[in-house]
Structure 1
Amino acid sequence: MPRASLLPQLPWGRPGVKVVAITGVLATTLWNLRCFLNSPQVSREASQHTEPLLVLVWEWPSKQVPNVSGDICRELYGITGCWVTMERQLLHRADVVVFPHTRLQPGRDSLPKDRPLWQSWVWVSLESPSNTKSLAGWNQTFNWVMTYRRDSDIFVPYGKLVPNQSATVNIPAKTNLVSWVISNYHKTQKRAEVYKNLSRYLHVNIYGKANKKPLCKDCLLPTISKSKFYLAFENSIHQDYITEKLWRNALMAGTVPVVLGPPRANYEQFIPADSFIHVDDFGSLAELATFLKTMNSSRYRQFFTWQRRYSVKLYTDWRERICTICSTYPSLPRGRTYPNLESWFNT
């Protein structure tokens, strides 16, 4: 791994014999010092001021593992002074070690046996508490949490609105009223109950594995964009748990999201109040269905006013999420661990 140069910069011009000799001795001394500092027995903090932040990802969060060793944060996202690696032999030199919950085994045998005092461990999860198991065994283990929740040490949302300069509104042509893409349909989920009752009052075009009508990756947005409304129903209801169902399937597709998730006030911390419809806005699903079916074109266009000021940024690349650690590192708290991770996440 490239390290900061320890050799002195000499003036331009051809050096004399005495200068060359002195320089040679100095270079040898500095080289020996460099080897000493690179030894695992030496505290990382003794030399980190000359080196980039080293982030070790213990296991990659997704099944597809890209080539991550090197200066990818600078190359991809303009974040300097940070190196990301998956080489476990660098454990004793790493400033930060990242542990995705989906890759943690139930037992602690999956964790490193030794941990340098200066090193910080990060627990990572993008799943909701309802879909995150075996948290009880990780008390007093992790220094920081990295999740979709805004109160995380490292906040990694599924998406966000970013300012733009277009001042235009683009609404795709519509051929049907409501659509929904669903892959994991469970009758015990609230979204299944809401859909079942809502479908008594209007027709919903359903796609996805659950309905045996899967959409290819490039077909998803063009298909959904033909609907006036999209059921952005989360699989569970939790604070800040607002996923790609809103950001990609609805807003990015150019349709109006009908959301089922945390309360409206929580959504309004992410997107404008007039950009979506919340199931809880209505006293009954019959009222919601009537509202959708009888909406005129002028009222419908108002839901897209946000496009004049914002564009959707979708977070899909785990490399970008990992590099977020580097940009937030200076402001992160030091010297503490989460005493009860399960209690914090289920709050």
Structure 2
Amino acid sequence: MPSNDPLILFYTTFFGKPVDIASIHCEGRWTLDKRRLSEAAAVVFHIPDFREFGDAYKYPGQYWVAWSMESRQNYKRVTNPDVMRHFDITMTHETCSDVWMPYLPRARGWQEMVARPIAAKTEEAPVALFQSAPVNRSGRIDFTAELSRHIKIDSYGRHFHNRAISGPDLGRKTKIETIARHRFCLALENSIEPDYVTEKIYDAFDAGTIPIYLGAPNVDEFVPADSYIDASAFPSAKDLADYIQHLIETPEDYEAYFAWRSKPLPDSIVKRLPGLETPTFCRLMNLVRQRLEERPHPPSGRPTLPFGRVSFLRTRLRRWKKKIPS
């Protein structure tokens, strides 16, 4: 590994856990050691862990990276110009990001989806739900409660829990196998905003089940046409339940939702897949290298404390209370 390769420091944790830099398989230097802050060419901050970055000094010429795959509605610091002006690179699920980090499966993921046979729908309840978080900016909790009055829903998550998983829970494998036994799966985002299309709808595709989607207004840019039921298109939960019942009773209409599996992916997806073949952090490293090469002269000066002395002291006090090394 070249010694002059840029050093990228992950300054914060990822939802309280250290970033697994051992899983980053591309050329470059990566560290979690804050003591190396001054020598880092770029510093990555996971925005949801904002309480951890108040004591960070920014050195001249250093690139700060704002990293988040969460909704702006849930982490409003992404919309705060006083915060974001300190960051030079964005790495999020939004298509306008400098380093795009979507939930969109790569080409191989789509190939594996359509190659997998559709499992028999053996559960009495037509609809499955996996939801544990209480975040409800999309209104999904009220939506689920109302829909459940008109059609049976098996809910396996902590929210609205009424059904236990049979056998050992092996994580995503068990989740997909469970969804696969139902005709439909609720894919309800916690917030509604453009580009925020998470794994929920893709899990349903992977399971060979029709997703009932509530979320991003531009979801059609990220999924095949006629592959899901748009919950927002129905005047009421009862109207949606009646449509679900119609599909159950009309096999040809139900099976039409799987026609996409035998067709080429739409251009809106295909044109984005090549850029995703390079892993996200490798694309970040490439961008940092590019920006360093384009810079005519190395900047000079003293480091600054972007978030101020009060934030510095609060962050250090929090680290001291939790006995976290600074």
Q: Do these two structures clear the TM 0.5 threshold for a shared fold by scoring above it? A: yes
3-state SS of paired residue (2:105): strand
Map 1:152-163 onto structure 2 (within 5 A): 152-160=97-105, 162=107
Distance 2:164 2:49 in 1: 27
User: Which of 101, 122, 134 does residue 65 from structure 2 map onto?
Assistant: 122
For the Cα contact (< 8 Å) 1:99–1:123, is it kept in 2? yes
- Report the aligned-residue RMSD: 3.1
Cα displacement (A) at 1:299 = 2.6
User: Equivalent residue for 1:201?
Assistant: 150
Percent identity over the alignment? 28
Q: What amino acid is the match of 1:234?
A: E
Q: Letter of the 1:86 partner, please give it.
A: L
Distance 1:239 1:165, change over 3 A: closer
Cα drift, residue 138 of structure 1: 1.1
One-letter amino acid of the counterpart of residue 32, structure 2? M
Partner of 1:274: 226
Flag the 1:83–1:282 CA change in 2: closer, same or farther, 3 A: same
Q: Assess if the C-alpha contact under 8 Å between 1:189 and 1:236 holds in 2.
A: yes
- Secondary structure in 1 matching 2:8: strand
Quickly say closer, same or farther: Cα 1:321–1:52, change in 2 above 3 A. Answer: same
Q: Counterpart of 2:185 in 1: which secondary structure? A: strand
Contact 1:231/1:259 (<8 A) preserved? yes
**Local SS of the residue matching 2:44:** strand
User: Which residue number corresponds to residue 45 of structure 2?
Assistant: 99
Cα deviation, 1:130-151, whole Å, max 9, x if unaligned, reads 2114554514210111111111
Q: CA deviation at 1:287?
A: 2.5
Q: Which whole-Å CA distance do the structure 2 matches of 1:101 and 1:224 have between them?
A: 32
Counterpart of 1:33?
Answer: none
Q: 1:323 to 1:3 in 2, by over 3 A?
A: closer
Q: Counterpart of 2:184 in structure 1: which amino acid?
A: F
The equivalent position to 1:304 in structure 2, one of 258, 275, 279, is 258
1:242 pairs with 197, 200, 209, which one? 197
Where do 1:313-332 residues align within 5 Å? 321-329=280-288
Kept in 2: contact 1:160–1:270 (CA 8 A): no
2:137–2:190 CA contact under 8 A, matched in 1: no
Deviations 1:69-89 (A, max 9, x none): 6xx64xx3xx43x22211223
Conserved? CA contact 2:136–2:191, under 8 Å: no
What CA distance in whole angstroms lies between the structure 1 residues aligned with 2:208 and 2:226?
A: 15
**Structure 2 CA distance for partners of 1:120 and 1:253, relative to 1, 3 Å:** same
The residue identity in structure 2 corresponding to 1:202 is: I
Q: State the partner residue of 2:299.
A: none
Q: Work out the CA distance in 1 between the residues paired with 2:221 and 2:260.
A: 14
Q: Which residue of 2 aligns with 1:40?
A: none
1:131 to 74, 81, 89: 74
Structure-to-structure mapping, 1:24-173, within 5 angstroms: 51-65=4-18, 68=21, 73=24, 76=25, 79-80=26-27, 82-105=28-51, 109-112=54-57, 114-117=58-61, 119-134=62-77, 136=80, 137-160=82-105, 162=107, 168=115, 170-173=117-120
Give the structure-2-normalised TM-score. Answer: 0.71
What is the number of residues matched between the two proteins? 268
Output the CA distance in 2 between the equivalents of 1:286 and 1:228: 18
Cα deviation, 1:291-339, whole Å, max 9, x if unaligned, reads 211212233223223334569xxxxxxxx5433412444667989xxxx
- The TM-score with structure 1 as length reference comes to 0.67
Report what 1:221 is aligned to.
176
Larger Rg: 1
Distance change >3 Å, CA 103–CA 284, structure 1 → 2: closer
